[in-house]
Amino acid sequence: MAKPLIRSIKGTHDILPDQSWRWQQIENTVRDFMRRFGYREIRTPVFERTELFARGVGQETDIVSKEMYSFVDKSGNNLTLKPEVTASVIRAYLQHNLGRQSPMTKLYYLDRAFRQERPQAGRYRQHHQFGVEAIGSPHPETDAEVISIAYGILKELGLSELELRLNSIGSQNSRTNYRRALKAFLKPHLPKLTETSRRRFDTNPLRILDTKVPHEIEILKDAPILTDYLTPEDAEHFEAVKTLLQTLGIPFVLDSSLVRGLDYYTRTTFEITSSGLGAQNALCGGGRYDNLVETLGGKQTPAIGFAAGMERVLLALESDTDKTPPETIDLYFVCLDEYARPTVMKLTNKLRSLGFSVETDLLRRSLKAQLREANRLHARMALIVGETEFQNQTVQVKDLTTAEQKSVNWDSLVDYISRLNFNSE
C-alpha cells in the first residue's frame, strides 16, 4: 500500500537546477534590455477580482468565458488567478495614479499567467511571460519602440528564424465600417460556416478571420480586408508604424488575418513567430489598446504593449542550440579529521565571504570520495586538511588540473588563494 505520490498540477512544471540557469539567463537579458530602454519593473499580485478580467479582457473572449481559474474566497469575493497580465498592470496604474506622476509611463514585468486549457507543446496551465506596457502616447513611435523591444530581446537571446507579423485592426470607427462589409460578404456563405463561426457572426465577426478550418480559409480568401476600411487617421498611423519599422531595420510581413483574441486591442496588432516550434509558434503577441484604461475606469489614455512566453522562448532556443551549463566552482575543501571540522568550516566561510565559491563535504566521507566529488564539481583547487595538517596548522592546496600540491599555513591561506587568478579560464 504505497502512499499515492502527490504530483504537480497538470500543465504545470517544476524548473529543476539543470534548467534554472537557462531561465536566469533569459531573465537577466530581459532586465538589462528593459533598463536600456527605460522601462521599469512592476509586480502585481497573482490573483485579482474576477471582474477586472471580465471588463478588461472581455466577457466574450475564450480566455474569460472558459479558461480562467476562478474561485470564491471565504469572504465571498470572486477572485481569479490572472490569465494575462495587462489588465493587472493597468489596474495598478490607475490605483496608484501613475499617470499623474508623468504623462508617459513605461513598465515591464516578468510574471506568470494561468489558463485552464488542455496542455500541449508550448501551452501550459501555468506559463511565464515577460512583457511591457507603454502607457500615455498615441503616436506611432511608441508602437515602433515596443515592437523593437520585443524583436530585439528575442534576437539578443539568440533566436533566429523569427517572423514579425503585423496588422492594424483600426479604431472603433474603422471596425464598425469593416464589420458591416465583412458581414455583408459572409452572409451568403453562412450555411457553409462552422457553428462557432456562425455564433461569432453575431457576437464578434472579426474573430472568424482567425479560423483554421480549411474550407473557411478558402471562403475568406475573397473577404474584404480590414486595412482597406481604416479611417484616414488609422491608415496614417499604420503607415507611420510601417515606415518606422523599415527605418529601424526590422523586417515584417503584413497579415490581415491577425486579429488576436483579446477584446481590448485597437489599431496596431503584432505577433512574433518562430518556425520549428510546432503548433504553438507565437513567441510573443501584442498590440495597441487605446480604450482599456478608460474601460477600467480611468480617463481616455492610449497605450500599447506585448507579452512573450518564456517557455516557448526556451523551446525555440533548444531547437537552435544545446549548450551545457557552465557549472564550475573555485574550491573544494576536503576534511579528513574530526577535530579539524570546526576550523575547516571557519576557513571555508572566510573564503566564501571573500567571494570564492567553496564546497565542503557534509557527509563525512572518505578522502577518495571527497576528491571525486571535487572533480565532479569541476573545482579548480582542492584544499585538504587531515590529522597532520591540523596539528601543523596547514592546508594542502592541490591544483586539480595540474595535480600539483603545496602546503600552506592557515595564516597565509587567504592571501595565497586570493593571489591565484581564477578568472583566466
Partner RNA sequence: GUGGGCGUAGCUCAGUUGGUUAGAGCAUCUGGUUGUGGCCCAGAAGGUCGUGGGUUCAAAUCCCAUCGCUCACCCCA
Binding site for RNA (CB under 7 A): 2, 7, 10-11, 61-63, 67, 84, 113, 115, 117-124, 127, 129, 196, 207, 210-213, 260-262, 271, 278-285, 307-309, 311-312, 336, 365-369, 371-376, 382, 384, 386-389, 396, 398, 400-401, 403, 405
3-state DSSP call for residue 166?
strand
**Cell 582542492 -> residue:** 382
Name which of 57 and 144 has its Cβ closer to RNA. 57
Name which of 99 and 158 has its Cβ closer to RNA. 158
Name which of 139 and 199 has its Cβ closer to RNA. 199
Name which of 224 and 261 has its Cβ closer to RNA. 261
Element (H, E) at 176: helix 172-186
3-state DSSP call for residue 334?
strand
3-state DSSP call for residue 370?
helix
* 158 Cβ contact partners less than 8 Å away, ≥ 6 residues apart: 317, 320, 321
* CA pair distance 55, 58, nearest whole angstrom: 5
Cβ of residue 164: shortest distance to RNA, in angstroms?
A: 12
3-state DSSP call for residue 147?
helix
Cβ of residue 363: shortest distance to RNA, in angstroms?
A: 7
Cβ of residue 98: shortest distance to RNA, in angstroms?
A: 22
Report phi then psi at 272, rounded to 5.
Answer: -115, 120
Cβ of residue 62: shortest distance to RNA, in angstroms?
A: 4
* 209 Cβ contact partners less than 8 Å away, ≥ 6 residues apart: 220, 223, 226, 256, 257, 259
Cβ of residue 406: shortest distance to RNA, in angstroms?
A: 10
Cβ of residue 308: shortest distance to RNA, in angstroms?
A: 5
Name which of 50 and 196 has its Cβ closer to RNA. 196
End-to-end CA distance of the chain: 53
Name which of 105 and 281 has its Cβ closer to RNA. 281
Cβ of residue 211: shortest distance to RNA, in angstroms?
A: 6
* CA pair distance 88, 342, nearest whole angstrom: 51
Name which of 79 and 381 has its Cβ closer to RNA. 381
3-state DSSP call for residue 41?
strand
